[in-house]
Structure 1
Amino acid sequence: MSPVPPVLAMEQVTQAYSHPRTALFRAPGTFTVLDCIDFHVHAGEAVGLVGESGAGKTTLTRILTGMEKPQSGRVLFEGADIWQAGPAERARFRRSVQMVLQNPRSSLDPRMKIGTALLEPMRSLRIDGNHLDRLTEVLGQVGLDTSALERFPHEFSGGQLQRIAIARALMPNPRVLVADEPVSALDVSIQAQVLNLLKDLVRDLGLSLVFIAHDLSVVAYTTHRASVIAGGRIVETGPPVELFTRPKAPQTQNLVSAVLTVNSGLSGNAL
């Protein structure tokens, strides 16, 4: 019996960009952002990706969600290459993989009521059905009531806006949520509420979660498995607690040692 394939995966993905041209008759150089990346998430699994700024997290996110085509390698959804798929398969991929961005205030139109903003994915993806019933269902899943539908973004706190952003990502009934630094713009007191919400959604809805962050403690709290990216390469993968208490790769050791903790100051030994 063959093992169940990941719901979303990258195989040997490489991405490079050209430097600006500096001479008329000289070809511009290139720099590699991702170098032979393998990354995957199974159904119902929460996977973390952690790395410092410039490590390649944003480019990996864009390729994983189909916003950017890799120079080489494959992006697979349910075992099929999304860049070789037909229109129907591509449309299903777009509905099934949704993003939660870092700053919900900038991702919501300030002139648009929340109800209208939540319906945008259904219209743009041409999803049929009773959208009003779906609105009520999704708002309940993120802990908001229907009174939010008639209000504007400026009437909500940062934590409430992130719940609304999560609700918008849930509207098409996706299989995978890709959360890009979803709590880094929130107060520490609110971060735990949003993290617990994401954990509950993975458990209750059977969602797959790709959680991208630079905060090791957040990744360890939220995910089942984590990968460390540095210099465009995955340097280490494993259970978060083991990864961050007994790191093997020098890049992981540097990330752990950079964590500020109450008990050990700059050393990070209390993680």
Structure 2
Amino acid sequence: MTIERRPLLALRDVTQSYQLPRTSLFGPRSSFTVLDGIDFDVCAGEAVGLVGESGAGKTTLTRILTGMERPQRGQVEFDGQDLWAAGAAERTRFRRSVQMVLQNPRSSLDPRMRIGTALLEPLRSLRIEGNHTRRIHEVLDQVGLDRSALGRFPHEFSGGQLQRIAIARALMPNPRVLVADEPVSALDVSIQAQVLNLLKDLVQDLQLGLVFIAHDLSVVAYTTSRVSVIAAGRIVEVGRPVELFTRPAAPATRNLVDAVLTVESGLAGTAL
């Protein structure tokens, strides 16, 4: 008997359109639909992937998942409640509970700010009370960093260490969902596995929901247990990564798989 888990964060029939500039002075403004009837969810203790070509709608979907944009139609549900129909207190809880890890930690960390101050910023901006020093030490232990890092500046760290710091900053408000947008694409291949293993451990140990957005299918297959493929603003295929990438059914998924660069295809001149 399987127990169906309720999604922690979910999009239900979400559509998002943007108005385009007028082509003439008095002409009507047309619109462009970026997302069209999107259904997407993640449960506690689960890592789900989102893949698609550039321009498929991943960035807009991410902005809606994190509450940065309100969808034109559909619902954003967090812990069973409609985010945009909830009160101010629930939206505050949402902002604390859903955090992002960005692609390039060098651009997301203030180079003039010591790491200890950078880790305090989420607690201050979200007005979270408690023993901040103890929380910082707890999070540093979770991401495998020494406390001596607190007094140093971002330029004193390697790329892998900076991404651990970025993950630590996202963990500071004690979130329930992490949205990771290309979190290892700016790292050396030798360091990528360390960060991916850290994310997998956090999902298991803290029962986090992880939304992992990436172009590298092997990275997605290693990190997630379920993948959604987005193309032209629609989810065209959902499934386990091994099945999805070895037996793709949707044309968009086949295109992604066929574009993977391997040593054999590169030497043969048939990749991409």
TM-score of Structure 1 vs Structure 2, range by shorter chain: over 0.9
CA distance in 2, matches of 1:3, 1:261: 38
Determine if the alignment matches structure 1 residue 206 to structure 2 residue 197: no
The question of 1:24 aligning with 2:21 is answered: no
Describe the superposition over 1:145-192 as per-residue Cα deviations: whole angstroms up to 9, x where unpaired.
110000011111111110000000000110000000101111111111
Letter in 2 for 1:157: S
Superposed CA deviations along residues 180-212 of structure 1, whole A, max 9, x for unmatched, are 010111111111111111001111111110000
Structure 2 CA distance for aligned equivalents of residues 66 and 60 of structure 1? 10
The match for 1:127 is 128
The amino acid across from 1:175 in the alignment is R
The one-letter code matched in structure 2 to 1:131 is: H
Q: Distance in 2 between matches of 1:23 and 1:260?
A: 44
**Which letter maps to 1:185?**
A
Mapped partners of 1:263, 1:140: distance in 2: 41
> Percent identity of the aligned residues?
79
Cα distance in 1, alignment partners of residues 32 and 270 from structure 2: 33
Q: d(CA) in 2 for partners of 1:106 and 1:67?
A: 19
Aligned residue runs from structure 1 range 181-200, under 5 A:
181-200=182-201
- CA contact under 8 A between 1:15 and 1:71: conserved in structure 2? yes
Q: Does 1:118 align with 2:119?
A: yes
- In the alignment, what sits opposite 2:168? 167
Per-residue deviation, 1:24: 1.8
In structure 1, C-alpha distance between the alignment counterparts of 2:108 and 2:12, rounded to whole Å = 30
Q: Say whether 1:230 aligns with 2:221.
A: no
Report if aligned partners of 1:259, 1:267 keep a CA contact under 8 Å in 2. no
**Distance in 2 separating the partners of 1:184 and 1:74:** 31
Superposed, which structure 2 residues align to 1:40-59 within 5 Å? 40-59=41-60
Q: Which letter maps to 2:50? A: L
TM-score, normalization: structure 2?
0.96
3-state DSSP class of the match of 1:27?
Answer: coil
Distance 1:77 1:5, change over 3 A: same
Matched with 2:254 is 253
Distance 2:194 2:166 in 1: 14
Q: Which residue of 1 aligns with 2:9?
A: 8
Distance 2:270 2:144 in 1: 38
How far the C-alpha of 1:22 sits from its partner, in A, is 2.3
Deviation at 1:267, TM superposition (A): 5.7
Amino acid at match of 2:133: L
2:153 corresponds to: 152
What's the CA shift string for 1:72-102, capped at 9, x where partnerless? 0100001101111111111111111000001
CA RMSD of aligned residues (A): 1.4
In structure 1, the gaps of 5 or more residues are: none
- 3-state secondary structure, aligned to 2:85: coil
Instruction: Note if 1:104 corresponds to 2:105.
Output: yes
Question: Cα distance, 1:227 vs. partner?
Answer: 0.5
Q: Indicate the SS of the match to 1:203.
A: helix
In the alignment, residue 241 of structure 1 is paired with which amino acid?
V
Q: For residues 20 and 151 of structure 1, what CA distance do their matches in structure 2 show?
A: 46
1:87 & 1:224 partners in 2: Cα distance? 34
Number of the residue aligned with 2:87: 86
Structure 2: 5+ residue stretches without partners: none
- The CA distance in 1 between the partners of 2:245 and 2:36, in whole Å, is 23
The one-character-per-residue Cα deviations of 1:36-81 (angstroms, maximum 9, x if unpaired) are 0000001110000001111100000000000001110100001101
